[in-house]
A and B are shown apart, each in its own frame.
Chain A
């Protein structure tokens, strides 16, 4: 395991404003999760991106100010809490704009369980995304094998179809799929340990960052 990629190492690095690597890792890892989370909460793409940006900046500020105590809750719970306040803040700010534009100003942020599940799903997607990227760019897996996997999984093509397309036997396609599954499992498992965020229930409202309450 690359120790520098763990959440602990990343958080340690974030204390140092000059540690660009830690910042980049944090940003790459959580921005897309937060954008997806915002989308699941009903935000438009641009609004979700804005909330993600504000959440990341706010988190780093609070973190450097020593407000994040890891013993009191997971990083994800902390981020969700900030993001939810950012969303409410955006609703307040956008309320009038939405009035002017005549759009529905209603997003359901009340259901704690839904919000938690939405974040957890996005976090998991982030892990899977990272795993795919690693499979494509850093593993030594045969490109044709990856291609077979993508045709099967992303494009929903049949085994026979893939075999014909790629000039492989159906059996080889099965094997390719099986190998990719094993490889991805290994990568996902490692990344999950880097996140140190086991999936499951947690209380997103239990740890309210004071500065996250916003204006």
Chain B
């Protein structure tokens, strides 16, 4: 023993001498009773009770300071050198960190391979279970010991969730445990396959085949739901199709688990308020609201709808959002384009199923994944599906209603406006062909805004339109700052909506800005004369409504000239301008001039095409003649012409059209003048109903109609008294 010790020291001395860089280096080899192997094992055993130690070493250490020093030295060196284990020599080499040696790797019994996936929760590695030589996937907590407590809890929850699952379309958990550093991990079966969307694209699958795949996924989700698990992050990347063509759902990292024995019922939830977990593109609207109570199994059904849509159409139902806020607005208020419009060959029943899944309202989706599975089975068997299509009237009603609900509606229409604006800004900068397209888009945008006008749309002035328009206007001004001519077109529409809601000052401000820009644009050849004419007409209306008749006449006359030059003398729009000019002339008591205008207009209308627009324009001229007759106190003629106009109008528009209300009001006025109070009362009552609905209680036209009704009642009472 003594010889061995001397030999060890001689070797140590030699090593020391050889190494000029290690001055002061004094290796401690203990007293020599035990080998360095034994002493190092004793050092290792301090941290790992599994390490085999010579039983006689430990009592010896208590007595031998030299051996104790040696063990301390080993311990200190091991701890220090252990730090180097994770150090990469080439730190930026992708995934080099993920391939530690099997024996020294983080998980006992597994050899880790390349990194397969890295998500918000953890990293997944290909691995080999050494005992069984079985290939598997190992998921480890992202950030290791630096992971936050919340991440750690979620990860452990995921292990619990996966452990509950035994389904052919859900990955199976093999084993879980703690790494050498005490971090959780789990091993699961390794699915060799393609992402669902890649698989569909590569194999050019069509509707029916996609439905077949999705049915397996739906069954897996139904299974999960029955076990109290909501996946919450379903997307093509989390559905792999294996080599047998079986889709497999994986990554339950964000799943919510109902710990009770009852399956999750709609409304159950424990996520922190305001927290969003999942993937925006596939998240249900209620998931984006941040309200944990709003999340239930139907979130997964919505995500399946997005996946379904994407697989059969080739793109997501909502694309083009430039921010999360826009995406949320789209999801909550828009209806995606119908799949059959994009893929005409698609079976209509499949479209109904997908659209039902994508309903923004959870209550309109399937109640359960089982119900969806049943409908898919019916579709695949060629039986009638149970889901019913949203009727067109439902869709229209819903869209309109959403657009009219004050603040949230503002966001919806705003999203449309902004999206269109961006498209316009881009398109306008390109070729002439693109410019034509952009003008069409502009027209769409203006129509979108125009639908907010209660005179022609379905709104009422009791909504918070001010807030809505303020936001729209600000955003449009900001978005189109580099496109003044586009901005002008939008501002004109915004101005007309202001006017429709009895706010002529803001209307004038917006339209005047549009006018100034367009005058300059016409001079430079960037704006068409008919575009300027429309703005002049809008400005004329504003001036007329604010009793600025001189300006109104000037703008009407200017617009008339522009339209005659660009559209022709007998064009419907040109003739309508003539009728409007007559209104100003009549109002300013230039009745002969007004009559001449109306006669001219009526003569020109003889060559109108037989369209509804043309017919309604002609009704307007008849109306104008009736009003003129009234102004001349020829109430009998006025009554006859209003009645004629009303009959003609009702052939083209419904009873609750604003113009019907206005004509009935005028007719009632003439009837009052002629003492026909019963007929006047009926028309006044009908007019008030329409005007209240279209313009609101406070609108001047409504108030006038109400006042007329009071007058009729008063006159009736007087008559009765007589």
**Per-position 1/0 for B315-326, Cβ under 8 A of A:** 010010111100
Q: With the chains together, A179 CA to B119 CA distance in Å?
A: 41
Tell whether B237 is near chain A: CB-to-CB under 8 Å. Answer: yes
**Per-position 1/0 for B81-100, Cβ under 8 A of A:** 11111111101101100001
If A49-B92, A95-B324, A171-B36 touch, does A104 touch B87 (CB 8 Å cutoff)? no
Interface 9-mer from A16-24, A150-158, A205-213: A150-158
Tell whether A201 is near chain B: CB-to-CB under 8 Å. Answer: no
Q: In chain B between 16 and 45, which residues have their CB closer than 8 angstroms to a CB of chain A?
A: 16, 18-22, 24-25, 27, 29, 35-37, 40
Instruction: Enumerate chain B residues within 8 angstroms of A45, measured Cβ to Cβ.
Output: 92, 94-95
- How many of chain A's residues touch chain B, expressed as a range? 35 or more
Binding site for A on B (CB under 8 A): 8, 11-12, 15-16, 18-22, 24-25, 27, 29, 35-37, 40, 73, 76-77, 80-89, 91-92, 94-95, 100-101, 103-105, 118-120, 142-151, 233, 235-237, 254, 276-282, 316, 319, 321-324, 327
Cross-chain contact A181 with B77 (CB below 8 angstroms): yes
Cross-chain contact A40 with B146 (CB below 8 angstroms): yes
Q: With the chains together, A141 CA to B25 CA distance in Å?
A: 13
Instruction: Enumerate chain A residues within 8 angstroms of B143, measured Cβ to Cβ.
Output: 40-42, 114, 118
Cross-chain contact A178 with B282 (CB below 8 angstroms): no
Q: With the chains together, A132 CA to B279 CA distance in Å?
A: 42
**Per-position 1/0 for A28-71, Cβ under 8 A of B:** 00001001100011101100010000000000000000000000
Cross-chain contact A174 with B104 (CB below 8 angstroms): no
Tell whether A86 is near chain B: CB-to-CB under 8 Å. Answer: no
**Per-position 1/0 for A146-189, Cβ under 8 A of B:** 00010011111101100000000111101111111111110000
Most buried by A among B29, B143, B254: B143
If A104-B279, A178-B77 touch, does A36 touch B91 (CB 8 Å cutoff)? yes
Interface 9-mer from A74-82, A121-129, A190-198: A121-129
Instruction: Enumerate chain B residues within 8 angstroms of A25, measured Cβ to Cβ.
Output: none
Instruction: Enumerate chain B residues within 8 angstroms of A156, measured Cβ to Cβ.
Output: 100-101, 103-105
Most buried by A among B27, B29, B150, B316: B27
Instruction: Enumerate chain B residues within 8 angstroms of A104, measured Cβ to Cβ.
Output: 119-120, 233, 254, 278-279
Instruction: Enumerate chain A residues within 8 angstroms of B86, measured Cβ to Cβ.
Output: 125
Cross-chain contact A185 with B11 (CB below 8 angstroms): no
Cross-chain contact B21 with A183 (CB below 8 angstroms): yes
Instruction: Enumerate chain A residues within 8 angstroms of B27, measured Cβ to Cβ.
Output: 174-175, 178-179
Q: With the chains together, A208 CA to B73 CA distance in Å?
A: 43
Instruction: Enumerate chain A residues within 8 angstroms of B149, measured Cβ to Cβ.
Output: 111
Name the one of B85, B151, B319, B324 contacting A154, with C-beta atoms under 8 angstroms.
B85
Name the one of A98, A117, A184 contacting B80, with C-beta atoms under 8 angstroms.
A184
For the complex of A and B, the 7 pairs showing the least CB-CB separation, nearest first, are A156-B104, A111-B148, A181-B77, A32-B91, A106-B120, A118-B146, A156-B103
Quick one: closest A residue to B76, CB to CB? A181
If A100-B319, A175-B15, A175-B27 touch, does A141 touch B8 (CB 8 Å cutoff)? no
If A42-B142, A128-B84, A159-B40 touch, does A32 touch B11 (CB 8 Å cutoff)? no
Quick one: closest B residue to A178, CB to CB? B27
**Per-position 1/0 for A81-119, Cβ under 8 A of B:** 000000000000001101110111111101100100110
Q: With the chains together, A154 CA to B665 CA distance in Å?
A: 93
Q: With the chains together, A208 CA to B280 CA distance in Å?
A: 30
Quick one: closest B residue to A173, CB to CB? B36
Instruction: Enumerate chain B residues within 8 angstroms of A72, measured Cβ to Cβ.
Output: none
Cross-chain contact B40 with A103 (CB below 8 angstroms): no
Instruction: Enumerate chain B residues within 8 angstroms of A110, measured Cβ to Cβ.
Output: 148
If A42-B120, A179-B19 touch, does A96 touch B25 (CB 8 Å cutoff)? no
Cross-chain contact A102 with B279 (CB below 8 angstroms): yes
Instruction: Enumerate chain A residues within 8 angstroms of B254, measured Cβ to Cβ.
Output: 104
Q: With the chains together, A3 CA to B322 CA distance in Å?
A: 51
Q: With the chains together, A41 CA to B147 CA distance in Å?
A: 9
Name the one of A40, A128, A139, A155 contacting B21, with C-beta atoms under 8 angstroms.
A139
B112 to chain A minimum Cβ distance, whole angstroms, is: 13
Instruction: Enumerate chain A residues within 8 angstroms of B73, measured Cβ to Cβ.
Output: 178
Name the one of A95, A121, A183 contacting B22, with C-beta atoms under 8 angstroms.
A183
Cross-chain contact A177 with B120 (CB below 8 angstroms): no
